[in-house]
């Protein structure tokens, strides 16, 4: 069973939370709140994914802005891959 760390407010200690603990909490929760819990889980997954992606790419704000601005470039303004590689080989001796 997968464990999650959580802080026990009553004891002031960290405790391990299991899927079973979460299931038990969900069973006692009023049904009208289950949607809120599900939305929060989706939020946490999205936040985690975003943080993970930012760590992978680790782009500066300037680099992010450059990429964002490229969305406005017309298809005809893009350079062919082979043409680009040929220029790199010529310029850098690759």
pLDDT for 78: 74
pLDDT for 60: 80
Strand pairing class (3-8; 13-18): antiparallel
What does the domain layout of the chain look like in residue ranges?
3-92
Please state, in angstroms and rounded to a whole number, the distance separating the CA atoms of residues 69 and 39.
32
pLDDT for 8: 58
pLDDT for 31: 93
pLDDT digit string (tens) for 5-20?
A: 555 556 556 678 899 9
Please report, for the chain, how many H helices and E strands are present, in that order. 4, 2
| Number of CB atoms found within 10 A of residue 59's CB | 13
Low-confidence stretches of the chain (pLDDT < 50) are 1-3
Please state, in angstroms and rounded to a whole number, the distance separating the CA atoms of residues 54 and 63.
12
Return the half-sphere exposure (C-beta side, CA atoms, 13 A cut-off) of residue 77: 5
């Amino acid at each position: 069973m997968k464990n999650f760390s959580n802080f026990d407010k009553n004891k002031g200690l960290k405790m391990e939370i299991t899927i079973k603990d979460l299931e038990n909490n969900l069973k006692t929760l009023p049904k009208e709140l289950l949607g809120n819990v599900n939305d929060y889980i989706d939020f946490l997954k999205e936040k985690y994914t975003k943080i993970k992606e930012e760590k992978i790419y680790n782009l500066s704000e300037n680099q992010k802005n450059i990429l964002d601005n490229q969305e406005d470039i017309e298809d005809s303004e893009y350079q062919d891959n082979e043409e680009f590689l040929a220029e790199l080989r010529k310029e850098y001796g690759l």
